[in-house]
Amino acid sequence: MARCPEKGHRVPEGIPRARGVEKVSGARSLGGESVTEELILPGKDFYLLEAPVKSGREISIHLALGTAIDKIREYISKDVATDKISLVTVTVDPDQLKAVGIPWSTIAVELIKKG
């Protein structure tokens, strides 16, 4: 087990460290990809990105819009149809969980900004 340099948490070898994540536990490898059983968020907002892949659908969690946009750019470069990609902002409040879809006009502006 390695230690996270910022927080000192134990992290299994070979598991990529996510920036801004306070704690990751129960990480394991599944078919060459990292799977995390627990993720403690540093804030109350995160992004869910869903897109088709050869084996079905891939859902990823992003702590910043920029990393989700980078992943969307990757999907587009692999000729994934944009109408099959969805991005949602999730806000976690004590009384409710709120999910709001991000329109493609916003995503397109972010893609252009990041060149």
* Claim: this prediction has a pTM higher than 0.85: no
Report the C-alpha gap between 38 and 68 in whole angstroms.
20
Give the angle subtended at the CA of 70 by the CAs of 14 and 109, to the nearest 5°: 165
Q: End-to-end CA distance of the chain, in Å?
A: 38
- Residue range 10-24, pLDDT digits in tens: 544 444 444 444 444
Domains belonging to the chain, first-starting first, are 2-40 (no CATH), 45-113 (3.30.2260.10)
- Residue range 21-60, pLDDT digits in tens: 444 445 554 455 566 777 788 889 999 999 998 889 999 9
Q: Of 9-18, 68-77, 95-104, which range is least confident?
A: 9-18
